[in-house]
Structure 1
Amino acid sequence: MSTDRRILLFDLFGVIARHQRPGAQEKMAALCRAPVDAYTTAYWAHRPPYDTGRHSATVYWTRVLRALSRPACADTIEELRLTDIDSWSRVDDRMVAYVQSLRGRAEVALLSNIPADHADAFLAAQPWLHHLDHVAFSGKIHAAKPDPAAFHHCTAALNAAPAHFLFVDDREDNVRAAQAHGMNGHTFTGQDELTTVIDAWLTSDRMHNAAP
Structure 2
Amino acid sequence: MAYPSPIVFDLFGVLIRKQRSPDQDRLAELAGTDSTGFSAAYWQERPNYDRGCSPGAYWSAVGASLGLSFNQGKVEQLTALDNESWSNVDPSMVRMLYELRRCDTPLYLLSNIPDPLFTFLDARHGWLAELFEQRFMSCEMGVAKPEIAAFDKAFSSVARRHPGAVARFVDDSPSNIAAARGLSIVSHRYQGLAALQAWLRDSDEAQELKA
Using the size of structure 1 for normalisation, the TM-score is 0.89
Deviation at 1:99, TM superposition (A): 1.5
Using the size of structure 2 for normalisation, the TM-score is 0.89
2-structure distance, mates of 1:50, 1:163: 33
Deviation at 1:7, TM superposition (A): 0.9
Alignment-mate amino acid for residue 195 of structure 1: Q
SS at match of 2:207: coil
Report what 2:50 is aligned to. 51
- Map 1:117-196 to 2 at 5 A: 117-131=116-130, 132-158=132-158, 159=160, 160=162, 164-196=166-198
Preserved CA contact (<8 Å) 2:6 2:167: yes
SS at match of 2:197: helix
Deviation at 1:199, TM superposition (A): 1.6
Percent of residue pairs bearing the same amino acid type: 32
2-structure distance, mates of 1:135, 1:162: 21
Equivalenced residue count is: 203
Alignment-mate amino acid for residue 169 of structure 2: F
Q: 1:84 aligns with which of 45, 58, 82?
A: 82
Greater shift after overlay, 27-36 or 76-85? 27-36
Deviation at 1:89, TM superposition (A): 0.7
Preserved CA contact (<8 Å) 2:136 2:154: yes
Q: 2:206 aligns with which of 191, 204, 207?
A: 204
Preserved CA contact (<8 Å) 1:164 1:207: no
1-structure distance, mates of 2:209, 2:112: 26
Preserved CA contact (<8 Å) 2:6 2:165: no
Preserved CA contact (<8 Å) 1:16 1:96: yes
Deviation at 1:140, TM superposition (A): 1.4
Preserved CA contact (<8 Å) 1:163 1:183: no
Task: Note if 1:70 corresponds to 2:59.
Answer: no
SS at match of 1:164: coil
Structure 2, unpaired ranges of 5+: none
Report what 1:31 is aligned to. 30
The structure-2 alpha-carbon separation of the partners of 1:129 and 1:16, relative to structure 1 and needing over 3 Å to count, comes to: same
Report what 1:93 is aligned to. 91
2-structure distance, mates of 1:114, 1:207: 37
Preserved CA contact (<8 Å) 2:50 2:139: yes
The structure-2 alpha-carbon separation of the partners of 1:207 and 1:38, relative to structure 1 and needing over 3 Å to count, comes to: farther
Alpha-carbon RMSD? 1.9
2-structure distance, mates of 1:74, 1:162: 50
The structure-2 alpha-carbon separation of the partners of 1:78 and 1:206, relative to structure 1 and needing over 3 Å to count, comes to: same
The structure-2 alpha-carbon separation of the partners of 1:7 and 1:72, relative to structure 1 and needing over 3 Å to count, comes to: same
The structure-2 alpha-carbon separation of the partners of 1:79 and 1:162, relative to structure 1 and needing over 3 Å to count, comes to: farther
Deviation at 1:166, TM superposition (A): 0.9
Structure 1, unpaired ranges of 5+: none
Greater shift after overlay, 114-123 or 65-74? 65-74
In terms of fraction of residues, the more helix-rich structure is 2
SS at match of 1:23: helix
- Map 1:105-124 to 2 at 5 A: 105-124=104-123
1-structure distance, mates of 2:209, 2:180: 15
The structure-2 alpha-carbon separation of the partners of 1:74 and 1:129, relative to structure 1 and needing over 3 Å to count, comes to: same
Deviation at 1:22, TM superposition (A): 3.9
Preserved CA contact (<8 Å) 1:163 1:207: no
